[in-house]
Structure 1
């Protein structure tokens, strides 16, 4: 294609991995049996690759003993821990489809995901912070008829699962694995829905194994690397770019804490001599801002991955110089593309690492098109970024209509992000054609929050927009029209209404009361104008 157009194809000189996740793990176990595979810092537990392989099989046999079959959906609703990783690889080995459930979900969201994906077996934490997972599962269970069984991590039910597995032939997981294909669905990840409910991006072995592998290749992982993962496993950032990138290269996964804790992260890097550290920009900012930052020995670091939102130049300078991450990489993608489409390279300069999201990965294609016509635009021109190749999801779970809206007839995944491709093939994200809010790396789709807030008795109409926030990049603001304009409504009252029913990151930080919304000629709400006036009114 004409090199003046916004199209780029990644190199294909090295082949894709044509194997399942379990087969790839078997190769790593055979090559590096004595090397560390997994370190769970909070519990002090660690596994070599030989031990990890056996532990994965133990969980697989437990699932088989409980009647889990190929294609069954196994939900995991838990914070970062070793068991999360074991379930990830055990389900892949026997062909069950693991469904990631965000630990921040409350009953409204949990019930929807359990039913929409048809989860029959659930693995969950018992509790975390203010969430009593056990109580929430019991409350939604009557309305989730397909849910047969729940096992709780750190509870006697987890040990009972392993004990039951002892009755299953040790060769059975491998036998089931041998019957699987690379294109089998293996994972469902829910992305917030612009139409009110999350959509289940369905991903195959080929999708996520290869994406993790190539991300690891571009930061030059080997069996010498130790990867610190403070990012959540329920998201592709943790389980694909983290876990699969590590195991496909014989590197070690290091879990610093159940959820992000800046001090625990730096302690883990120092104690485990980690060579790589992951995070969204706000995580790196929090680590750099620790009062005792300078006391942590981070000299073992050489690389890492930053993704989720743009990185400020000054933060990147400090990450490179003060955290010793000279080879840090920026990644861009979305759950529907497994997730990474573009990535900066180890030797890219500061400008490319802060002003762009890199260039296309091997075996993928990206292009920037005119949203109205679908024509590829010239380089340097803004349009919608599209991705094509092995990484594009199989589709949204049991939702062919929305799958067809996202993936066109030529196989291009339309990201909804507005981008510019530079003459050198590097891509910059300049905005969002959808109205998605990115709060500290978490995607918030306004429509989902709006649908929920319409239930509030005081609200007659609502539009949710993102407003500037120094810590999270964007904060959620609800612009509301009240039934009684004299009554007033505070952010605290709205937060109380949402508490326990919406994930914390979706709860509006601000409430802006208006008499009506600015409209286009065709009657659509002009969200760009609403965002601006809300920010001005709130003094942001």
Structure 2
């Protein structure tokens, strides 16, 4: 039995039942009772912390009436909205698990997740009513209660369902009488991965994970009770919920401003109208904000910073954003499993643009060697020379539960010796700045040479007539694989001849890495977290090759 130098009993009892995300929110309910907690831009309504707590309680009591209890799952498929926030907080009041899922999923993917988590209550947005109904019809598991959230007040709930407004009507606004609804190790939030390599995986987060993710944001922005944040991306993923979304902002006592749909002109207007201090979003959003601000500038003087994640920022892009939007640009890199784990601060930019930064304050990051038959141990690292490529691994014990739901084998594959083996390929330098070069399963082997798509894409994107690019492979009898670059033009006059000449003359692009083929397209597929879906482009490339659509 563990021996201590002092009596730890009261500390254990207090810490294990009091150090919960819910209690952090409730502290703000009484100390910031009349301070704005949330503003909806669609309705221009603001909730104080006291008012928000009352609406959360209405939902919590409705869930209790439906028999939702300890460790039951409440799943919600919602666009950014007040009801999303209610659904995030109310299950925690009664010891249940809140589980937001992507509203852009297909009916089949949604049905898969419903069967995986077996929610007792399923809440969905009327805007995706058709998808939700198809998913429920396809799923084997049927939730006991299905609730439809309708922003317009005009939609009727399908038979057997109820609108959110009717569901919470006449419910108590008082806190549920549950003394200790959760323990620090209880699953609090369940997210689902973007599914870039297969079906989405359930990622359990406990109270410590949720709290220390909020602490991480408070440290790195830094985020304070005086801040007003607007996450421009959907909240259902880690970067949406935990980076300036409901999780950290409501934990520190700030105000979240809800953006239902992203539009650059609207976002900039809201910065001025609401006095926003932080914007959060994927790099493509920053590019659109930059272009809008150049054409139609608004007052951004209250903006303390813009935080982005999901992809690296190029040096020229970074300089442009710092000059036109705010000097304080941040870039985080991480996973659904462990939030962000490396970070670029404003003082790192633009010098270290293109890299993913170095480890966050409480995390460790390493780049380890790759073996065909086994994992490298955490200390088996590649050279810190920014040349040798290895696999990124991260250790973030405060922000991950080191497991997937219902996937023991996958958990063993990804989580090893306290580290997360992400599957991303990278180099690092003597100061441990990490540069991502691709995914292990995206790596292209052509004539025995390894080609990392991200390296080539960054060079292509530097061309003034290229807006965006993706490099993938297609079968080649001679080489095994050949490369094809899918290009979105920034200038309609761009030709393959120009690109071939540009690549041939570029000092950082070896001959074997140059694209052998090109295909000009209008848009590219992205995950909800702003990452390019190489696997989807690869499938498209095989079909395009057979149809003879490539240019040389």
TM range (shorter): 0.7 to 0.9
Aligned match of 1:296? 298
**Cα distance per residue 1:200-235 (max 9 Å; x no partner):** 112212113211321232112111111111111111
Given the superposition, is the C-alpha separation of residues 194 and 249 from structure 1 closer, same or farther in structure 2, using an over 3 Å criterion? closer
Distance 2:271 2:193 in 1: 30
Distance 1:69 1:107 in 2: 27
Distance 1:224 1:90 in 2: 25
Q: How big is the shift at 1:282?
A: 0.5
Given the superposition, is the C-alpha separation of residues 16 and 310 from structure 1 closer, same or farther in structure 2, using an over 3 Å criterion? farther
Tell me, yes or no, if structure 1 residue 89 matches structure 2 residue 89. yes
CA contact (8 A) 1:126 1:133 kept: yes
The gaps in structure 2 that reach 5 residues or longer are 1-14, 154-161, 444-452, 458-469, 473-480, 491-518, 525-531
Aligned match of 1:401? 409
Aligned match of 1:161? 167
Tell me, yes or no, if structure 1 residue 77 matches structure 2 residue 85. no
Q: How big is the shift at 1:77?
A: 0.6
**Cα distance per residue 1:231-284 (max 9 Å; x no partner):** 11111111111222212222111113x222212211111100101111111001
CA contact (8 A) 1:366 1:385 kept: yes
Tell me, yes or no, if structure 1 residue 272 matches structure 2 residue 268. no
Aligned match of 2:11? none
Given the superposition, is the C-alpha separation of residues 297 and 16 from structure 1 closer, same or farther in structure 2, using an over 3 Å criterion? farther
Aligned match of 2:435? 428
CA-atom RMSD in angstroms: 3.6
Aligned match of 2:99? 99
Q: Secondary structure at the match of 2:33?
A: coil
Aligned match of 1:250? 253
Higher relative contact order (CA 8 A, sep 6+): 1
CA contact (8 A) 2:41 2:258 kept: yes
Given the superposition, is the C-alpha separation of residues 196 and 510 from structure 1 closer, same or farther in structure 2, using an over 3 Å criterion? closer
Given the superposition, is the C-alpha separation of residues 261 and 387 from structure 1 closer, same or farther in structure 2, using an over 3 Å criterion? same
CA contact (8 A) 1:227 1:253 kept: yes
* 1:485-504 alignment, distance < 5 Å: none
Given the superposition, is the C-alpha separation of residues 291 and 320 from structure 1 closer, same or farther in structure 2, using an over 3 Å criterion? closer
TM-score computed with the length of structure 2 as normaliser: 0.73
CA contact (8 A) 2:318 2:349 kept: no
Tell me, yes or no, if structure 1 residue 376 matches structure 2 residue 381. yes
Q: How big is the shift at 1:29?
A: 2.4
Aligned match of 2:319? 317
CA contact (8 A) 1:216 1:241 kept: no
Distance 1:396 1:412 in 2: 14
Q: Secondary structure at the match of 1:111?
A: helix
Distance 2:228 2:482 in 1: 41
Given the superposition, is the C-alpha separation of residues 218 and 99 from structure 1 closer, same or farther in structure 2, using an over 3 Å criterion? same
Aligned match of 2:354? 355
Distance 1:359 1:45 in 2: 40
Deviates more, 1:153-162 or 1:103-112: 153-162
Aligned match of 1:148? 144
Distance 2:78 2:113 in 1: 14
CA contact (8 A) 1:188 1:202 kept: yes
Distance 1:112 1:464 in 2: 35
Aligned match of 2:328? 327
CA contact (8 A) 1:73 1:120 kept: yes
Q: Secondary structure at the match of 1:237?
A: helix
Given the superposition, is the C-alpha separation of residues 251 and 402 from structure 1 closer, same or farther in structure 2, using an over 3 Å criterion? same
Distance 1:466 1:203 in 2: 39
Q: How big is the shift at 1:87?
A: 0.9
TM-score computed with the length of structure 1 as normaliser: 0.75
Q: How big is the shift at 1:363?
A: 2.3
The gaps in structure 1 that reach 5 residues or longer are 1-14, 447-462, 473-489, 496-503, 516-532
Aligned match of 1:3? none
**Cα distance per residue 1:335-361 (max 9 Å; x no partner):** 011x11111234333112x13222212
Distance 2:258 2:381 in 1: 42
Larger Rg: 2
**Cα distance per residue 1:161-181 (max 9 Å; x no partner):** 212533xx9342x625x2311
Aligned length: 449
CA contact (8 A) 1:213 1:244 kept: no
CA contact (8 A) 1:193 1:199 kept: yes
CA contact (8 A) 2:112 2:139 kept: no
Q: Secondary structure at the match of 2:347?
A: coil
